Structure 1
Amino acid sequence: MLSNNAQALLEGWIAAASPVVEKVYGTSEASWPEVRARYMQELENLFPAFEGVSYQTVMSGTTPAMLSEPDAGAGDAVVLYLHGGGYVHGGVEAYRGLTGRLATALNARVYTPDYRQAPEYPFPTPVDDAFSAYRALLESGIRPENLVLVGDSAGGAMVVTMMRKARDAGIPLPAAGVALSPWADLTHSGSSATTRDGIDPLCSVAFLTRLARCFLAGERPGHPDASPVYANVEGLAPILIQIGENEVMLSGATRLAANLGEARVRTTLEVWPGMFHVWHLLAGVLPEADQALHNAIRFLESALANEKTTSR
């Protein structure tokens, strides 16, 4: 059971998303830029910046990005954080609290690409922008053994896709990746689309189906760059997947983990009892969010240390 503070924050998040829901269902005449701006402003208030971290806008290749960096300075570690929002309505500003926590705990620079979004820029533009940012970090001189990927929801799926695209392009893979509540199957064909629909307070199958249609713009939902459960995942770096027990996306995440394991990718799957979509954003208020991030940080620290040892 959630504390009063956590419940209030969750309810505030649900209320903040109402303009997005109205737009997705076609009951709002506001433009997408207006809807995104309103949503992001509300989320900035709900999930404020993390103390002791500086934020600035930089370019990662051709893609603008938010750089989160500890005021005391960062070490060698670099995180590419891929934000969620169904490829349609997310934004970097809402993630200052989360990226600030990662920057502080890992003593790292965290880059969050402000990739272009549907419907103005449908598939594959968001994925291509994210990969452009990844490639640019490597080209800037960042060593792959110092680079890790983290993402939530749509960004969680892109963690896997970035590794695949790097593998296929013949460029170095990161040291590891963490997928938080990944939206890994846009066909929503798993059992949780039925058993968890109406339980997850933040996502319904009907809403996700409309988001997917907006993003895909006619492309099939099973395209491997949109739904990594249908992708060849051989040869990827170690991956941690965290998913809430109450999430509509549960089946996609567990199937993704199984596919990765069968492909001999070092994979860790955590299914969190009673948790909802991207509960991690409630860090500092919700103990399960703090513990999940703690686990993710330990996983990344271990991967970064292993890569440094092997690369010597």
Structure 2
Amino acid sequence: MVSTPVPDFVNCTSTMPGVGDAIVTDDEFSMAKTASHAFLGNLADHKGFPGRSDSDELAIPAKVGSYRIFDFAMPASQQPYKVDDDTLTMERLNALHTQDRAKTLQGRHSMVVAVSADVVSTTEKEALDDKPMHENERIVLYLAGGAFIVCDTIHSKWMYIRMSQELGMRVFVPRYQVAPLYVYPRPLHDVYTAYQHLLGRGFRPQNILMIGISAGANICLSVLQLLAMNNKNSPSVAGCIVCEPFIDLTMSHSSWQGNQDKCVLPYVPCAEPGSISRVYFGPTDGVAADILGVLRLPLLSPLFADVTVFPPMQIQVGEDDVLHDEAKAFAARIPTAELIVYPGINHYTLLRGRAQLDLYYGNMRKFSNKVFGSDN
């Protein structure tokens, strides 16, 4: 497969999200918007990014933190999927399950474990193992964003380590496979399998805080639905935080167009082959002609899900984000959800600048303390 060159903004240290203290200048925002619109404005010809080996990852000073990338296999006990009222997704998921069981599934299962040096006083080997350091260890299961075409990037480890420091927990990040080579529902299978692997290693559902951002928030909420369908009456996680969630793949809310001048994400109607939604869904052969109807399936667009299956939730979004309206509509369906809207913030600036990052992580920390009943 021919690879698409990696745009500068994907691995650019100067615009690394969730970590630095730099103030977002008008020039920086203009650069980010121009690059994003140029690349995401038409994904029809996107061939996937060049692969990289684990040896390409950046070194992080031990005084800051550490991380490890590890492979894992689907647990032998993992059962075929049950999916309510969605035959298309169930058939696709169980085809993946069958291939995984037969060890013919393309693309490996891998995960990152990251930890701040401030969080644990133990050996690095123990801190980077994929089993609990003690019986009731609490962890973060973090789902990175990236428009379904990017997941874990070279510089992301710094953000995971800061999240570990801010929340006082180790952070586990499934490296789900991405489009266009791997399409829906492959990321759901990868993350569901990662969750089952962690349970098999000894982690408890009530000790897991699930966090997803952008496309990762979509996958987060879809996996929570799957867990509810396949483990009825059993808790999945203690709580969930979704940030700037892309949860309506029909792009039907007015902020997609109304915030175009204020945000970095371009509006490309979902019916067009070059849209983010269509690239994630993949080829439409054998699918009903009503692509809008298909994209409304709750496991594709969690905005339309049965919200009673979700755990306690915090939703963070910028007022100037193209995703603002769908986040607000989702929160309106969940009376218990905590909705945090940042004035003047868009899809790019949510994770940029000292003051904004302090709010972003501070609100996460408050929610984490609330669901765990802890002041840590």
TM-score (norm 2): 0.68
**AA aligned opposite 1:281:** L
Alignment partner of 2:322 out of 239, 243, 248: 248
Max Rg structure: 2
| Offset at residue 178 of structure 1 (A) | 0.5
Alignment partner of 1:274 is 2:325: no
Q: Distance in 2 between matches of 1:147 and 1:158?
A: 16
For 1:234, what is the secondary structure of its paired residue?
helix
Partner deviation per Cα, 1:66-88 (whole Å, 9 max, x = no partner): 11112352672211100111111
Q: Distance in 1 between matches of 2:37 and 2:300?
A: 25
**AA aligned opposite 1:178:** I
Q: Distance in 2 between matches of 1:9 and 1:127?
A: 34
* Distance verdict in 2 for CA 1:89–1:19, change over 3 Å: farther
Any unmatched runs of 5+ in structure 2? 1-20, 75-108, 121-126, 128-132, 288-293
Q: Distance in 2 between matches of 1:64 and 1:53?
A: 20
State the partner residue of 2:192: 131
Please say which of residues 11-20 and 212-221 is displaced more in the overlay. 11-20
Q: Distance in 1 between matches of 2:296 and 2:224?
A: 18
Q: Distance in 2 between matches of 1:204 and 1:16?
A: 10
State the partner residue of 2:278: 213
Alignment partner of 1:24 out of 43, 46, 50: 43
Partner deviation per Cα, 1:170-190 (whole Å, 9 max, x = no partner): 153100010010001111111
State the partner residue of 2:24: 6
| Offset at residue 10 of structure 1 (A) | 4.3
For residues 86-105 of structure 1, what are the structure 2 equivalents within 5 Å?
A: 86-105=147-166
Question: Percent sequence identity over matched residues?
Answer: 24
State the partner residue of 1:70: 116
Q: Distance in 2 between matches of 1:17 and 1:51?
A: 34
Q: Distance in 2 between matches of 1:272 and 1:50?
A: 34
**AA aligned opposite 2:216:** G
For 2:183, what is the secondary structure of its paired residue?
coil
* Distance verdict in 2 for CA 1:205–1:163, change over 3 Å: same
For residues 179-218 of structure 1, what are the structure 2 equivalents within 5 Å?
A: 179-200=242-263, 202-206=264-268, 210-217=275-282, 218=284
Q: Distance in 1 between matches of 2:269 and 2:61?
A: 29
Whether the 8 Å CA contact 1:151–1:178 is kept in 2: the answer is yes
Alignment partner of 1:237 is 2:305: no
State the partner residue of 2:64: 52
Higher relative contact order (CA 8 A, sep 6+): 2
For residues 74-85 of structure 1, what are the structure 2 equivalents within 5 Å?
A: 76-85=137-146
Alignment partner of 2:203 out of 142, 155, 166: 142
* Distance verdict in 2 for CA 1:93–1:50, change over 3 Å: farther
| Offset at residue 13 of structure 1 (A) | 4.5
| Offset at residue 9 of structure 1 (A) | 5.2
* Distance verdict in 2 for CA 1:230–1:22, change over 3 Å: closer
For 1:5, what is the secondary structure of its paired residue?
coil
Partner deviation per Cα, 1:7-41 (whole Å, 9 max, x = no partner): 26545655665774377264x7xx4123x76xxx9
Alignment partner of 1:257 is 2:331: yes
| Offset at residue 107 of structure 1 (A) | 2.2
For 1:260, what is the secondary structure of its paired residue?
coil
Alignment partner of 1:298 is 2:340: no
Any unmatched runs of 5+ in structure 1? 307-312
Whether the 8 Å CA contact 2:41–2:268 is kept in 1: the answer is no
Relative to total residues, which structure has the larger helix share, 1 or 2? Answer: 1
TM-score (norm 1): 0.81
Whether the 8 Å CA contact 2:215–2:245 is kept in 1: the answer is yes
| Offset at residue 138 of structure 1 (A) | 1.5
Alignment partner of 1:172 is 2:190: no
Whether the 8 Å CA contact 2:63–2:117 is kept in 1: the answer is no
Whether the 8 Å CA contact 2:36–2:266 is kept in 1: the answer is no
